[in-house]
Structure 1
Amino acid sequence: MWSKTLLVVILAIAVQEVVSQCSRDTCGPNTNCRVQGSAAVCRCNSGWDHAPGGNTIEGCTVRISDGQRSSGISHRATPPRTSFGTLSNRLGNNRIRSGSSSVGSRQNFNDGGDPCAERPCGLNAECTSQGNRAVCSCPPRYEGDPNIECTLDPCETTRCGVNAECERRGNQAICTCPPGFNGDPLIRCDDNPCNSSPCHPNADCQVQGTRAVCKCRQNFEGDGIIECSLDPCLNNPCGTNAECQRTGSSYRCVCPRGYSGNPQFRCNSDPCGENPCGPNAVCNPNGNVATCVCAPGYLGDPLSREGCYNEPCSTGPCGVNAECESRGRSALCRCPRAHTGDPYTRCKFDPCAEAPCGVNAVCNEQGEGYECVCPPDYTGNGYGVCTYNPCATSSCGPNTDCNVIGERAVCRCISGYRGSPNSRSGCLADPCSIDQICHQNAECTNQGGQPVCSCAPGYVGDGFHDCFRGNCLSNDDCGSQEACQEYQCVDPCASACGSGAECEVNNHVAICRCPRGLTGDPFQNCRRFTREEICGDACGPNTDCTVNADERPVCKCLPNYIGNPLTGCRYECTSDRECPSAQKCSNFNCVAVCDSSACGENANCRAINNRAECTCPEDFQGDPYTRCFTECVRHNDCPENTACIKFRCQDPCYALAEQQCAPTANCEVKNHKPICSCFTGDPFRSCREFNRDDLCKPNPCGVDAICQPGYNNRGSDKPVCTCPSGYRGNPLVRCTRGDCERDSDCGSNLGCYNFNCEDPCRRGACAPNAECQVRNHAAACSCPDGYYGNALEACRPTQANTRVVGHSNSRNRFRFKRFVDNVLSYLY
């Protein structure tokens, strides 16, 4: 009974000892302690982590953010795997865990047994015995807490591309290209983007910064990446004189302007192909000659630049019944014969329009007929001659008779009356009416009621008793230059002719005529000729008639007309064909084809077959009929990847034959200049194949670094940069000479480390708690008083009350374990 009670007491004490593992300030700050099996496990509180190189026993002093927690970084302590069946075994397997340490230690107190026999280490960890301690460590390429679990570095199982770098992020391996490299890090990272052959086989790759620029080779077209197809027109697959036009990867043949035919075989010159005719003209080929005619309804010169214009009469501009006559570009409207009115509105039939009546007669319209009558003051036959009757408007007085003598009205008193027949009072009854009051050859006149007898003309006497005959009774009684008028021989020209007329007596008769230069009725008035009467038909058609000082017609051709003005004038030309080949017909005159307005600015003009052929000078562009201009006059006028060559912005890599690169070289335009380059060789002569020695030509390494051909982790060629002996630094950037090459180059209290003179004791040569002294450039380690052990591995305190976690707990557990074993052995 007593033994059982003692056993219970012992077991209670043992349990209390195990539970008390977490009650003796086992773990550091910011941690929580849990008993798992017979061991105390320290874990960091949420949001905390232990210091790099530290462990959770020492405490968690580093605060972590949510981003760090979400990135996959965790420090887990998993329960150890135990296979211990006895209490003593469980009590002896107390393990100290660290979230980041790679080596853990465990003391085994199984009386000299193998401390690794009980597999105290974590998953995938290795256990080695050092004295009576089990030392856990992660094998090569593994990392983690060897007391919990060693995990394989994901970068060891992940194969990144050539030249790529692997970076571990949590449990993931991230492949990235190093600085200065680009590409797919899972396949290959290149410092030259063209090494990955991103271009089409028919394209050249050019490096621009960190980009690869693909450019199709000469005679190839496309984007350089997906397509670079050969120009199908390069070998001129079309017929003679035909043009080849590319359509994608195919082509089509067409006859150029001025040619016609089958472009697959031959294009023949088409005289109408270049449309040599002017506007509104129709070109009819006649062999190799083009014949230009105006289109129907058009007039003008079909060969001129103005071409043919719409025939003015074709639009019907005239009125009803009117006739239309084309005068150049104008329509002349007039009423036809026997018609009158406004020709631009309506012409009406007029039977009197053609003056069908006699001389001086008046035509009166009678429906569709007419009537001819003599006008007032005229007498006669209206269809023949109407003679002027001066008595019709005479001013004879009352009781008078009007007698016509020649063209004059003579007033006489009627028989039995006397008086003044031309006065307003006229004739009155007078004594002269008494028979034979006067001589028979006398005339009686009433003067105040008294008869006055006077001999009649041609007679003389007292009139009452005697009146004898005058000078004559007829013209025969007078001389040849005189005429017998009223019984007197007088000059007949004195009163026979009109104003301005010339009179000549011929056989007693006055002959009146208008003198030279005058015209009109010589019995009434002679006047000067009008211009129309002088010119009449003196001049030919298309002439202008003027009257000179001698009143003679002067004929001359109208403007733009040539020829004999007496017979008729004509235009110098009506079409270009009537002019020399270097001239054209303009305004009916032959003028130079290449005048100032024939071609555009800066254009050249050549006269061919009365037409101006305008061309831009060589290397000029534009429309020769409006303006020729240069695309550039200096390089700065062009984009940077082109140059001004022969006034055009062109690629100098192809336009300048004398500056072209070698066939296999790359040509890149920078600042308007062609720059030839190749990976190896002379870019102006020949580029050769790449060899391993070219890896270091030019030296890709940093300043003062050494370049040697080498290989990367995939076995591909790669330049290897190293700093020479005595130098330190990043060989890809710069190598600088160090302080030393050997220890003797430093003071006796310093050593040469990585070409720097440093204190060996500061490089962690000795174990924790050990003392370090420099002797002859080396660190001499020793455990101080109160400590024991290997100064290169660990110095442990000898005091019993030392609070070093792990050592004091281990000793206490060892004593308790020995006590329990002794009790159990005693009982059983």
Structure 2
Amino acid sequence: MITCAHQMLIVMLTNTFQAVDVLQKDPMEIQVSIVKIYHHRFMTNQNVDTDGDCPSQRACINETCVNPCHVLDPCDPSADCKVVDSLPVRTMICICIEGYIMGENDVCQIIPLDITPQCRSDSECGVEKACINRMCKDPCDCGSNAECDVINHRSVCTCQVGFQGNPDIGCFPVGCAINNDCEDDKACYEGVCANPCLVGNPCASNAECYAEQHQAKCRCPSGLKGDGYTQCLVIGCRANSNCPPDRACINNQCKDPCLENPCAPTSECLALNNQAMCRCPPGTYGNPQVRCDPVPEVECYRDEDCPGQHACLNEVCVNPCEKLEPCDDTAICKVIDTLPLRTMLCVCPDGTVIKENGKCDVLPPIKPICAAHEECPSDEACVNGFCKDPCQCGTNADCDIVDHHAVCTCKPGFEGDPEIVCHEIGCYGNDDCATTHACINANCTPVCGPDNEPCGKEAICQGINHQPQCLCPPGLRGNPNTQCIAIGCASNDNCPDNLACVNERCEDPCGLNPCIDPARCNVENHIALCPCPPGFNGTLDKGCERIIIGCRADSECPPELACINGKCTDLCSLNPCGINAKCRTVDTLPLRMAACECLPGYQGDASEICYPVKACPIDKGYITNEEGECECPIEKGFYVDENGNCKLCPVEKGFVMTAEGTCICDPSKGFVITRTGECDCPLPLSRAEDGSCVLVEVTPLPPICTVNDDCPQDRMCENQNCVRPCGYDPLF
């Protein structure tokens, strides 16, 4: 299966390219076509291909070469769908079979019998008419800003003076401001649309240069291999299986098998499946390896009876451009396989534009305007002789220009690689964040804070699957959550390769700062090395001295250096980044780029300042507010208890929040805290129906006795109680 990149596909549901209103047509005039244009645009990457990468009758949809009629099904079941091999995109045509016409809702309807046919062939119509569905009609169906001439009943489309493009689809004014103002195979140079291959051919000597998406691209011709930009080599072989389908293995070389002339002089030779296949041309018959004779009978009646690029003229299939010669000698005539009639286009060659009387005139010369960055404005850079915007940052990234070079930083509220893409810090779950971050209070927060928090001393924190993982680095051991200590050693062999045995401990030899700036210390096989950065040579004292290099472009400098004021300079030495941010140089060409990123555990604007990400103890009930601050939301009824936990004040149990943010028993109701930690009324108060504490009066009990006769015989009445007259009774 052939694959291809995403692109825009234009679907034309018609047998012409011009829209026709069915409801406004005369009912006696046969309606033949309706146009509908659908744009199927998919997300694109930066290196895209076109329908031209697919075989005939195929289009690039969802990275696969397929028949668009089968996949998109644009036509009504009553109509036939045909694919026209137009470029840069394929065209689909809905055609009614003979005897039917396109009616309302794009449905093919049988031609009413009460309409008398006007013709059966073009010769029965006037010189400016054509026989279409048995009716003499104007064959002109050119695009916008195009003129139509009728020659021998066929339309000839030409762009109007001052316009250029495909006259069959649409012409646009000559001149441009940006590349998108030009056709796909043109680019905008000083207000002129021109083939980029003519301005600057980047291809190898034996490669083909083709224009696509306003850029010059290279490819190796059939029979050669390579990237097209540096070289194209002849494909050697040992068998046909080593060659492309249109080549055969001859004398250990992939060659066109038709070069051996296996066919008759009057026949055609096609290279298919590594073999030479002979066939008689259209309009002839016979044994193609012996002789092909003309077909004596009528060759065609309509254009659709002829092969591609041919039309039926006088019952013979011919190339109408060669037969009718409708274009000026300076223009190129092309045949478009439209139906029911072929269409001829008069197109100017690359580097020319149409003028009066259909003649093509040469475009004004394009001259470079710069040779070095300093010759351009401060916000532009010299690229291929022209001053252009150097910014090529990723999505959601800001671009600042320093000394004609781009410095990319993520926009506020975003983080990531500013050279490729910056992601929004907000999130719904961990899956919305990088594996080194976790979704906390709808924000992607690094799980590892500054200084490798929350790991122990000398430990390394790594964000894995949205969780902090603490590890002891090589040469250390212990509990990484508390502290890692050095492993004892007797020699370097007892230590990892990036550590050395110093005083019986495995330590980093670069920790002794053996190098002199700008040398960078690296450890290899237990030894500290001091390699110099690009653009410097090493000295005997482990220092570096700058190599004096003159330059005019970044490509003349070593990696990680850019050409600034004629010298190869490290962009990061210009300090383009903010506080707590790191700078790295991206080796892009033709311009180097600086990227600023916040240090691990920091967030913010890398071009200004990055702030530490505070670790918020969410396990104790704290949250991060919209300003990114860690807090216990007192305004929502939470308080901090004596153990430092953020808890909800239980108002339903009689507690109340004070203005200072403490949770106490409601004093307005008279509650006090009990030994069990609950709110209740103090004695002798009790809770009333409204929940407040009140003093309840106790009704005194009626007296037991008033006189002795009220008591039993062995008791007497004293203080309204019946007591023993003999004094204290321990059992009473």
TM-score by length of 2: 0.21
Q: Decide which structure has the larger Cα Rg and report it.
A: 1
Q: Comparing both chains, which one has the higher relative contact order based on Cα–Cα distances under 8 Å and sequence gaps of 6 or more?
A: 2
TM-score by length of 1: 0.19
